[in-house]
């Protein structure tokens, strides 16, 4: 979650569309994991993939939507606002876990839900109606949260595929889907960006997509959905600290 918390710093300053940033992240992350996969002499069976094929597809689509809307949120509003609105996702996970995963919802976690919703309300209210771009950024963050929720639940249902195989398959599928989406919309613009931006993309791909999601999916298989949701709040906390200390964004009392 600490790794994910730094994503906004990189994505906000890469002059590419959100979908293209997501594509290169997926592709670079997948290539990195292929090296790990070969080095560790891992393997997965055709049967395990076929058994989970629709779950893997759904999870990859959710990953695409998650990244596209989150990166667009970073571009439209501050990193703090984007991160805090995005992390209504744990609220959704906690509330839906009793229905989807049959997990017991305890009073302590309901308190976390209430606090998070109050925080989201204050952030939205603080923008008022005067700055539509800021508000749109918050909405993008909320849409990304819905995709994150789908990603969490789908991965909890995937079985018999060990890491790094699961992450490798999902990043590869995400890159595949995003490639066709980009070709049908904006087209690839990576050749127009600076060398510095290319380096930022490589860091995003290896560290955030490759290492980050490898650890995320591995940890997800060991934890309950509600525990994952609570730990997810380390991410926006990291985003707030980084955006304040390194980018100079002002953290308000509401934040």
Residues comprising the chain, all counted: 255
Per-residue pLDDT at 227 exceeds 80: no
Give the model's confidence band at 154: pLDDT under 50 very low, under 70 low, under 90 confident, else very high.
very high
Average pLDDT over residues 173-202: 93
* Average per-residue pLDDT for the chain: 83
Is residue 245 exposed (0-12), middle (13-18) or buried (19+ Cβ within 10 Å)? exposed
Least confident of 89-93, 108-112, 133-137, 177-181: 108-112
Structure tokens belonging to residue 138: 């918050």
Q: pLDDT tens, 4-18?
A: 777 877 787 889 999
**What integer pLDDT is reported at residue 69 of this predicted model?**
94
89-100 and 132-156 are packed helices; what angle lies between their axes, rounded to 10 degrees?
30
- Number of Cβ atoms within 10 Å of the Cβ of 191: 6
pLDDT attached to residue 90: 79
* pLDDT at residue 42, as a whole number: 80
Q: Is the peptide bond before 164 cis (omega within 30 degrees of 0)?
A: yes
Query: What does pTM read for this prediction?
Result: 0.85
Mean pLDDT for the stretch of residues 106-116: 73
Question: According to the model, what pLDDT value does residue 179 have?
Answer: 96
C-alpha 227 chain-centroid distance:
17
Place of tokens 């002002």: 250
| Residue of 140, 96, 67, 116 whose CA lies nearest to 237 | 116
**What single string gives the DSSP state of each residue in 31-42?**
HHHHHHHHHTT-
* More confident call, 207 vs 230: 207
Q: What are the structure tokens assigned to 210, written together? A: 């490759």
Angle between helices 132-156 and 213-220 (to 10 degrees): 50
State what percent of residues in the chain have pLDDT above 90. 34
- The DSSP call for residue 252 is P
Give the residue among 75, 206, 230 at the shortest CA–CA distance from 141.
Answer: 75
Return the CA Rg of the chain. 18
The pLDDT-based confidence of 45 (bands split at 50, 70, 90) is confident
- Cβ partners under 8 Å of residue 85, min gap 6: 73, 120, 123, 124, 137, 138, 139, 141, 142, 145
Q: Which has the closest alpha carbon to 26: 251, 206, 198?
A: 206
Q: How far is CA 104 from the centre of its chain?
A: 25
pLDDT in tens, 51-88: 999 999 999 999 999 999 999 998 888 877 887 788 78
Q: Give dist(CA 173, CA 155) in Å, integer.
A: 14
pLDDT of amino acid 254? 63
Say what the pLDDT of residue 125 is: 63
pLDDT category of residue 144 using cuts at 50, 70 and 90: very high
């Amino acid at each position: 979650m600490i790794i994910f918390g730094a994503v906004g710093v990189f994505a906000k300053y890469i002059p590419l569309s959100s979908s293209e940033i997501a594509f290169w992240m997926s592709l670079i992350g997948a290539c990195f994991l292929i090296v790990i996969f070969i080095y560790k002499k891992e393997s997965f069976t055709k049967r395990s993939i076929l058994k989970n094929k629709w779950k893997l597809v759904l999870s990859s689509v959710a990953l695409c939507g998650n990244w596209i809307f989150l990166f667009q949120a970073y571009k439209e509003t501050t990193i703090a606002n984007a991160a805090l609105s995005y992390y209504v996702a744990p609220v959704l996970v906690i509330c839906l876990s009793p229905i989807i995963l049959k997990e017991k919802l305890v009073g302590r976690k309901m308190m976390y839900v209430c606090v998070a919703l109050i925080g989201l309300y204050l952030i939205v209210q603080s923008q008022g109606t005067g700055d539509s771009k800021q508000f749109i950024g918050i909405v993008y963050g909320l849409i990304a949260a819905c995709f994150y929720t789908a990603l969490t639940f789908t991965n909890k249902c995937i079985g018999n595929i060990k890491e790094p195989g699961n992450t490798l398959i999902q990043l590869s599928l995400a890159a595949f889907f995003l490639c066709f989406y980009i070709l049908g919309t904006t087209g690839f613009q990576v050749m127009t960006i600076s060398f510095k931006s290319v380096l930022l993309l490589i860091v995003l791909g290896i560290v955030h997509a490759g290492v980050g999601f490898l650890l995320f999916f591995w940890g997800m298989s060991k934890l309950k959905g509600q525990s994952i949701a609570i730990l997810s709040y380390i991410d926006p906390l990291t985003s707030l600290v980084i955006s304040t200390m390194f980018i100079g964004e002002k953290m308000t009392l509401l934040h």
